[in-house]
Amino acid sequence: MANLKELPYEIARVVDLLEQIREVNKMIALHNGKDGIPSQKRQYEDIRDRFLAELKDLLAGFELNDSFKRKAA
């Protein structure tokens, strides 16, 4: 795989967002336990939602929806 510094911004940002979502999911899981703090869980869920919204916008630029629709049919 190419060095991230050599990748176009959009691709590097997709990778970065996926990594951040993975880390936020860990924090959400941590706060799901009996000792978890519900308000902190909600904050992490809000952060994840923002990351997901940005990821969706970036992926829209790759015009993937049409490809997925054709594969599903």
20-70 residue pLDDT tens:
999 999 999 999 988 888 999 999 999 999 999 999 999 988 887 666 666
Is the C-alpha dihedral spanning 44, 48, 53, 57 positive or negative? Answer: positive
The model carries a pTM of 0.78
Spatial distance between the Cα atoms of 36 and 44, rounded to a whole number of angstroms:
12
4, 15 in Cβ contact below 8 A? yes
- Count CB-CB contacts under 10 A for residue 57: 10
Q: How far is residue 19's CA from residue 34's CA, in Å, rounded to a whole number?
A: 26
